[in-house]
Structure 1
Amino acid sequence: MFSSRTETERRALGSRNSSLFKRMLPRTLFGRSVLILVTPLILVQAVATWVFYDRLWDTVVRRLASGAAGDIALTIDARSLNPSGDTQLFELAHGSTEFSFQLVPGAQLPDRPPEPTGSLIERHLGNALAERVGRPFQIDERAQATQHIIDIAIQLPEGVLDVAVPRSRVLIGAPYIFILWMIGTALVTFALATRFLRNQVRSLRRLASAAEAFGKGRDVPHFKPEGATEVRQAAAAFLVMRERLQRQISQRTEMLAGVSHDLRTPLTRMKLELELLGDVEEVEGLRGDVAEMQQMIEGYLAFARGEGNEQPAIVDLMEFMGEAVATARRDGTEISLIGPQELHVPIRRDAFRRCVMNLIGNASRYGGHVWVTVMPTSSTVEMMIDDDGPGIPEALREAVFRPFYRLESSRNQETGGIGLGLTIARDIMLSHGGELKLETSPQSGLRARLVLPR
Structure 2
Amino acid sequence: MTSIDRFLRTVLPRSLYGRSFLMIVAPLVVLLGLTTYLFYNRHWDNVTRHMTLAVAGDIALTVEVLRNYPEGEERDRLLRLIQVYTDIRFDFRAAEILPNIDHDAGNSLLERMMASALDTRVYRPFVLDAVTDNTWVNIDVQLQDGVLQVKVPRKRVTSATTYIFILWLVGISLVLMVLAMMFLRNQMRSLRKLAMAADNLGKGRDELAIFKPSGATEVRQVSHAFLRMRDRIRRQVTQRTEMLAGVSHDLRTPLTRMKLQLALMPPSADLAELEADVEEMTRMVEGYLAFARGEGAEEPAVLADLAQLVQQVVFRARGTGQGRIDIRGADHLMVLVRPQAFRRCLGNVIDNAMRHAGRVEVTLLPGREVAQVLIDDDGPGIPAHLRAEAFRPFRRLTEAGDDPSAQDAAWEGGSGITGVGLGLAIARDVMRGHGGDIRLEDSPLGGLRVTLDLPI
Check whether TM > 0.5: yes
C-alpha distance in 2 between matches for 1:312 and 1:168: 74
C-alpha distance in 2 between matches for 1:132 and 1:154: 12
2:313 is the alignment partner of 1:324: yes
Q: How does 1:4-43 map to 2 (within 5 A)?
A: 14-15=2-3, 17-43=4-30
1:311-331 deviations in whole A, cap 9, x for unaligned? 112233233223222332333
Letter in 2 for 1:73: A
Matched residue, 1:361? 351
Structure 1 127/339 Cα, relative in aligned 2: closer, same or farther at 3 Å? same
Structure 1 328/164 Cα, relative in aligned 2: closer, same or farther at 3 Å? closer
Instruction: Provide the identity percentage.
Output: 48
The 8 Å contact of residues 374 and 449 in structure 2, kept in 1 or not, is answered as: yes
Matched residue, 2:195? 208
The 8 Å contact of residues 328 and 360 in structure 1, kept in 2 or not, is answered as: yes
C-alpha distance in 2 between matches for 1:142 and 1:369: 85
Letter in 2 for 1:316: D
C-alpha distance in 2 between matches for 1:200 and 1:39: 20
Cα deviation for residue 91 of structure 1 reads 4.1
1:176-222 deviations in whole A, cap 9, x for unaligned? 33333332332233223322322222222222112211211111222
1:256-288 deviations in whole A, cap 9, x for unaligned? 111101111112222333333322333333333
- Normalising by structure 2, report the TM-score: 0.87
1:84-130 deviations in whole A, cap 9, x for unaligned? 65335434543553334444333221234689552211111101111
Matched residue, 2:430? 428
Runs of 5+ consecutive residues of structure 1 not aligned to the other structure: 1-10
2:226 is the alignment partner of 1:238: yes
Runs of 5+ consecutive residues of structure 2 not aligned to the other structure: 411-418
Determine helix, strand or coil for the equivalent of 2:273: helix
Higher deviation after alignment, 251-260 or 315-324: 315-324
Number of residue-to-residue matches in the alignment:
439
The 8 Å contact of residues 103 and 115 in structure 2, kept in 1 or not, is answered as: no
The 8 Å contact of residues 377 and 448 in structure 2, kept in 1 or not, is answered as: yes
Matched residue, 1:276? 264
Determine helix, strand or coil for the equivalent of 1:450: strand
Q: How does 1:24-423 map to 2 (within 5 A)?
A: 24-77=11-64, 80=67, 86-112=75-101, 117-142=106-131, 145=133, 148-173=135-160, 175-220=162-207, 221-306=209-294, 307-334=296-323, 335-408=325-398, 409=402, 410=404, 414-416=408-410, 417-423=419-425
1:418-437 deviations in whole A, cap 9, x for unaligned? 33211111111000011111
The 8 Å contact of residues 253 and 308 in structure 1, kept in 2 or not, is answered as: no
C-alpha distance in 2 between matches for 1:244 and 1:141: 79
Cα deviation for residue 57 of structure 1 reads 0.8
Determine helix, strand or coil for the equivalent of 2:395: coil
| Runs of 4+ with deviation above 4 angstroms | 77-85, 112-117
1:406-429 deviations in whole A, cap 9, x for unaligned? 323328864423332111111110
C-alpha distance in 2 between matches for 1:373 and 1:127: 83
What is the RMSD of the two structures over their aligned residues, measured on CA atoms?
Answer: 2.6
The 8 Å contact of residues 79 and 89 in structure 1, kept in 2 or not, is answered as: no
Matched residue, 2:452? 450
C-alpha distance in 1 between matches for 2:442 and 2:67: 107
Letter in 2 for 1:21: L
1:64-89 deviations in whole A, cap 9, x for unaligned? 21222233334434655565653354
